[in-house]
Structures are given as C-alpha cells and as structure tokens.
Amino acid sequence: MPLLDARSDLQLLEAHRSGERRAFDELVRRHGDRLWAVALRVLRDPEDAADVLQDALESAYRRAAGFRGEASVSTWLHRIVVNKCVDRIRYDRARPPSGYGHPHRVPVGRDPAEGATTRLAVLDALAHLPADQRIPVVLVDVMGYPVAEAAAILQVPVGTVKSRCARGRVRLAGLLGHLREEGA
Amino acid sequence: MSRPGEWEGGSGWLTRLAEAEAGLPDEEAAARVIAASEPGSGRVLAALAATRAELAAVPPAPMPTAVAARLAAGFDAVDRADAAPGLMSGDSRRSDDFPLRRLRRRSGQVRRRPLLLTAAAAALVAAAVVGPSTGPDREAVDPASAAARVLAKGTLEVGGLRDPAALAACLARGGAAPARGPLLAGRPVVVGGRRGTLLVLGTGVLGRVRAVVPAEGCETVLADLTTGG
C-alpha cells in the first residue's frame, strides 16, 4: 500500500464514490487528526469525541454521494463533525447530569506556575462557553483556522464568527482570571 | 464581512471593545473604536491578548490509534452491510447511499481492512519496513518498529517521564534535542544490550514523529530518529 497518495481530496472522494475502498482511508489519514482535535476540544471528553467522530465519519463515508462541491472536502468533513458535536452538546444538555464530562461540574482552577495545569484550566474554561461561542473559539483561536474558513464550516457570515469569538474571549478572559473584576 | 446590523447584541463597552479587537465591524472602524476607547481599555485588550495566547498554546491532539481502529472497524461494518443488505436491521440510510452500496456489493469488498493509520502511525510503519540505516540497535530492538508497535497499541509505560519537566530534563541530560511535540507513546526497551525507555514524540509536523530512547538514568541517548512527513 502506498503511504502517500498524490491525488487531491476531491479526487479521493470521487474515487470513494466509485467504490475504491482505500480512498476514504486516505482522506481520514489527511484530515483525521484535525477533525479529532476539533471534536475533542469542543466536547472535552475523549469518549464523547470518539463517538462523535465515528458517527460523523461513518455518515460522510455513507453519504459521500451527497457532497455537492460547494465547499472543499475538508470544510465538508469539518462541517459534519461540528454538526455532530452540536447534536451531542444539545443531547447532553437535555439529559440529567451524570458527573464526568459535564461543564457545570468542571472545576475551574488555575495555577500560572504550572503549564499543564494552565492548559487544563483553558480546556475547563472552554467547556463553560455556550456552544455557539465555544465552537468558533476552538476553530479560530485553538485550531488556528482563518475566520473565513471557520465561517464556511459553520455556514454563517464572517462577522458572526468574529462576534461570537469576541464574546467567547471576554467570557474566557474572566474565567481564566485575566479579567477577573469584569467577570464574564 | 458583516454589517453592524448583523452583530449579535452588542451591549456594553466591554463587548464593543472585544468586537473591535476582533475586527468588527471592519478593520478601520475597529481601529477608531479602540483609539477612542475609555481609560482602562488597555487592560482589557491585554486580557484578551493573554486569553488568545492561552488558547493558541493548547497542544495539538493527534488522533489516538484506538480511535483510528474504531473508525476502520466502523467503515468495515458499513461495507459488510452494503455487501449483504438485509443482514442488519434498522438500516435507515438515505437513498443517496445506494450507489456506493451497489458498487461495494459488485466488487465484493468485504475483507476486514488493516488498521486505519493515523498520519503519525503510518510514518512509523513506513520507517519500520525500511529500518534504521545506522546505529548500534540493529541487533536488538529496532526503535522504529518498536515505536510503530507502541503507537499502534497506545502504550504509554514511561514512568516518571510522563511528566513534561522530567522528560525535558532527561533529554537534556542525555544530550538530545528537546521535545518539540507531545509524548504520544512509549515503553521500556533494550537497545544494544542497554536498558532504556522508548519515547515516541510528536514533532508539530503532520505525519512526522520522533522516536528517542534515553538510557536508564538518562546519562545518554541510545537512539534518536525522526521519520515521516
């Protein structure tokens, strides 16, 4: 098996639609780490992220024929993952709290002297944001995607992404102690 | 670019300042808002910058091999269902699944696929096929193939080296370059008759990983190779 495939994402998706079994594997190899990171940073719980990623990618695997080419394959895959994350967040919000993985039970602590603890505090704080702020903040500020790409993934105007990021940052600044007096 | 009317809410100077910092409603107007902002806005802008910096410092999260294996098993299940429709109950797939289903059934592709490799694991497996070209470890453990195995299994048995500070100190003591990415996997190994700890480290470059083996006590490094990408 060649480990590197020179075909474009679109060519791979077309090959998958034509029945080539390994074409979709190559797409996952190319984009899987980033898709996983988005799901993990949005949902925080690795088990939830794994469930969502599997659900999303199996959906994409089955429904590749539904890809119309309005966005890039990468954007399309991210959109499916993000939509599944939103579904999961809504589901979690609707069910009674069970402990681990629920944002309102996550302690928000911070120890600036310890890097790992600081990072944990960032991830904890992210979990306190509403989904409509958390997802753009993850895409733009954590993953480093351009605002326009985040807007394409979320299918909202660029200004909406900027506004949601701005509001999320204000809230995070309070949670992380950078803006303690103002709160969030 | 959105117009001001498209903003979501916008009450309060703090939110307006944060939105201006984000470039709303446009860069020129945002600069004016920031320039004309009230005393104390500098502290808010610094807080927002610190927040962004913390978010940007969240480490990359490579897909665990176990998750990749789950995905592969899931795709296999879809293929099997496509090849033998009716065997699975509750199949609610839409009509646009059918072309793929027909093609898979026609080609009879129902064999289980190999582990769906993440970029990092694929790079190491490639290295394992070739093997290291030099080094004293050829007769004992091949660090590349050992690294591929621990990465595939998700093994992380590295004792105190899980601690980033201890890991950094160990690499420094052995004269190795510092880690540039997260610790992905590892286990005790014997290389050239000496005990050490295999560490598989991310490099920050997609598909490229580093396998480094500090000797027991960290006084030297038994192997250090970067592969992939």
Domain boundaries, chain A: 1-100, 105-184
pTM above 0.90, yes or no: no
pLDDT (mean) for A26-51: 93
Is B207 in contact with B186 (CB distance < 8 Å)?
Answer: no
Residues of chain B with C-beta less than 8 angstroms from the C-beta of A144 = 56
Residues of chain B with C-beta less than 8 angstroms from the C-beta of A182 = 14, 44
Residues of chain A with C-beta less than 8 angstroms from the C-beta of B33 = none
| Residue of higher predicted confidence among B205 and A151 | A151
Say what percent of chain A tops pLDDT 90.
65
Shortest alpha-carbon distance between residue A11 and chain B (Å):
16
Cβ-defined contact of B99 to A29 (cutoff 8 Å): no
pLDDT (mean) for B149-162: 80
| A67-to-A113, A122, B169 alpha-carbon distances in Å | 48, 35, 50
Question: What per-residue confidence (pLDDT) applies to B228?
Answer: 55
Give the residue from B43, B58, B111, B113 with the most A CB atoms within 10 Å of its CB, the best one to mutate.
Answer: B58
| Fold annotation for A105-184 | Arc Repressor Mutant, subunit A (1.10.10)
What would the two tokens of residue A24 be?
């979709």
Residue-wise DSSP of B45-76 = HHHHHHHHHHHHTSPP-PPPHHHHHHHHHHHH
| A70-to-A10, A82, A152, B51, B223 alpha-carbon distances in Å | 12, 17, 10, 34, 48
| B124-to-B67, B120, B142 alpha-carbon distances in Å | 17, 6, 11
Tell me which residue in B21, B48, B104 faces A19 most closely, judged by beta carbons: B104
Residues of chain B with C-beta less than 8 angstroms from the C-beta of A37 = 60-63
Model pLDDT for residues A60-103, shown as the tens digit of each residue:
999 898 898 889 999 999 999 999 999 999 988 877 655 444 44
Q: Examine domains A1-100 and A105-184 and report if their fold is the same.
A: no
Cβ-defined contact of B74 to A166 (cutoff 8 Å): no
Q: Residue B15 above 90 pLDDT?
A: no
Write down the ipTM of this complex. Answer: 0.84
Tell me which residue in A16, A30, A122 faces B58 most closely, judged by beta carbons: A122
Relative orientation angle of helices A21-43 and B65-83, to the nearest 10 degrees:
130
Q: Residue A157 above 60 pLDDT?
A: yes
| Fold annotation for A1-100 | Rna Polymerase Sigma Factor; Chain: A (1.10.1740)
